[in-house]
Amino acid sequence: MAQADIGVYGLGTMGSALALNLADHGFRVAVTNRETDWIADFVSEAGPLAQHLVPAATLEQFVAALKTPRTILFMIPSGAPMDAMIAAVTPLLSDGDTIIDGGNADFNATRARDAALQGSGIHFVGMGVSGGEEGARHGPSMMVGGSDHSWVQLKPMAEAIAAKYKGDPCVAHVGPDGAGHFVKTVHNGIEYADMQMIAELYGLLRDGAGRNAPQIGEVFARWNAGPLQSYLMNISARVLQSVDPETGHPMVDVILDKAGQKGTGRWTVIEALKLGQSASAIEAAIAARGWSSEKDARQAGETVLAADAQPAAVPQDADLENAMLAGRILAHAQGFRLLQAASDEFGWSLDLARIAEIWRAGCIIRSALLDDFAAALRSDMPFGHMILAPRMVDMLAASIGPLRRVVAQAALAGVPVPALSGALSWYDTMRHGRGSTNMIQAQRDFFGAHGFERLDKDGKHHGMWMRD
């Protein structure tokens, strides 16, 4: 029997979908799973694609079914299960074989796994896969780390199964070791910010303008036909049009307002802070999910905390649309700035424009704007900041006024918009050549003699502070 081109270990939602996608493109795929009774069901449900599948009941059979050098894709929970599988499979592998972790892993763990396998002849690849089950089955966006050797093995298969943007496969070898998982982490941070900003605009339209779910859904559907066209805006419009069959109410109206999270968005913020960055729009989105879980405290707050709301105009739909546009640009700009910082720190030479290009289709944050971002990132980008690229300067000039009005109106009305206001504050920070942290430096020197630099002289100085 012809040997398999690739092995997929883990037949959960994402693993099954990727295995079928590979089979659909004519690749021979060895498949196995920890719970071996899943394997026969999976193969029988594959229909005609079963002819491309090689089921294996043991790890030994699975490895033996693969062409060398072997490529094995693990689609299993990140963390301890991945370490256990590396330990189990490595003794069965040979020089030049590649283990791929296609889950949402912490890039620090990916770097450690890569380092641990250095010198063993076995290659380790951390690969970010975006697009959910539908994407995995019919075209995901994939962010691949690891060695050039592994990429040579994987590339033909990855390019075949990836989503295509005007024929261009949405997959790239973004950099070595943990680069793929880092890029996926930042993707998820941007995903959180985009979702939060959409939720904030929904909140303004619901609580500020008194519109019902289907009416807001119509607004979002209209926006989705313009510059805000995106997967997340599209699904948000559909969500708002959906009805709960049990009660007949809009589905969103019966959902508890406590947001879950698996942690990848949070990693973006943790890593941003470690790199001396602050992705404020993303941070606000993580924080909003955290605060949302304190439902009881918020309900208590509703009865005792004064709003002292001030008269405010109801934001106009066109302003809300442009506020979202500005917010989306700023959240992505923060994400790309973070990617640049990580690239510098870890010596990855990330191609930010290529990353924007592979996010144009297949992934959760795919949007019409990503093509503009790719162009901006390819152009002259002063100080590594996308917002300073001329194309973005112009787009922000046209949308920042509406963002400012929306944030101001929301503040006056007492409606929270943490991600939109975080984005705006960052924009305003970045357009102040002279900020206010001279005061921070003075305070630090006052109480801790930490010293400061002066505008007019080189070196480190101390102030003659007036004390009691």
Name the site residues for ligand 6PG (rule: CB under 6 A). 104, 130-132, 188, 191, 260-262, 264-265, 363-364
Q: Residue 331 — left, alpha, or beta (φ > 0 → left; ψ -120 to 50 → alpha)? A: alpha
| Residue 279 or 387 with smaller CB distance to ligand 6PG | 279
Count CA atoms closer than 13 A to 91's CA, side-chain side: 5
* CA distances to 27, 149, 224, 363 from 153, in Å: 13, 7, 39, 23
| Residue 320 or 419 with smaller CB distance to ligand 6PG | 419
What is the 3-state composition of the chain as percent helix, strand, coil, each rounded to the nearest 5? 60, 10, 30
Retrieve residue 280's tokens.
């404020």
CA distance 4 to 228: 43
- DSSP three-state, residue 126: strand
For helices 317-346 and 369-378, angle between their N-to-C axes, nearest 10 degrees:
40
CA distance 190 to 365: 7
| Residue 132 or 384 with smaller CB distance to ligand 6PG | 132
- DSSP three-state, residue 106: coil
Q: What's the min distance (Å) between Cβ of 34 and ligand 6PG?
A: 20
| Residue 260 or 311 with smaller CB distance to ligand 6PG | 260
Q: What's the min distance (Å) between Cβ of 195 and ligand 6PG?
A: 8
Retrieve residue 215's tokens.
């009416």
Q: What's the min distance (Å) between Cβ of 409 and ligand 6PG?
A: 29
Q: What's the min distance (Å) between Cβ of 291 and ligand 6PG?
A: 15
Q: What's the min distance (Å) between Cβ of 269 and ligand 6PG?
A: 12
| Residue 133 or 445 with smaller CB distance to ligand 6PG | 133
Q: Which of 191, 200, 283, 357 is flagged as catalytic?
A: 191
Q: What's the min distance (Å) between Cβ of 290 and ligand 6PG?
A: 12
Instruction: Work out whether strand 98-101 and strand 123-130 pair parallel, antiparallel, or are unpaired.
Output: parallel
Q: What's the min distance (Å) between Cβ of 202 and ligand 6PG?
A: 17
Count CA atoms closer than 13 A to 414's CA, side-chain side: 8
Q: What's the min distance (Å) between Cβ of 8 and ligand 6PG?
A: 17
| Residue 93 or 171 with smaller CB distance to ligand 6PG | 171
* 124-156 per-residue burial string, b: 16 or more CB within 10 A, e: under 16: bbbbbbbbbeebbbebbbbbbbbbeebbebbee
CA-closest candidate to residue 18, choices 27, 5, 8: 8
| Residue 217 or 265 with smaller CB distance to ligand 6PG | 265
Q: Which of 134, 184, 258, 357 is flagged as catalytic?
A: 184
For the question of residue 191 being annotated catalytic, the response is: yes
- DSSP three-state, residue 65: coil
Q: Are 49 and 21 spatial neighbours (Cβ–Cβ below 8 Å)?
A: no
CA-closest candidate to residue 419, choices 271, 282, 291: 282
Q: How many residues belong to the chain?
A: 468
Backbone angles phi, psi at 169, to 5 degrees: -65, 135
| Residue 56 or 199 with smaller CB distance to ligand 6PG | 199
Which residue lies nearest ligand 6PG, judged by its C-beta?
Answer: 130
In degrees, to the nearest 5, what angle opens at C-alpha 289 toward C-alphas 294 and 421?
115
For the question of residue 218 being annotated catalytic, the response is: no
> Which residues belong to the active site?
184, 191
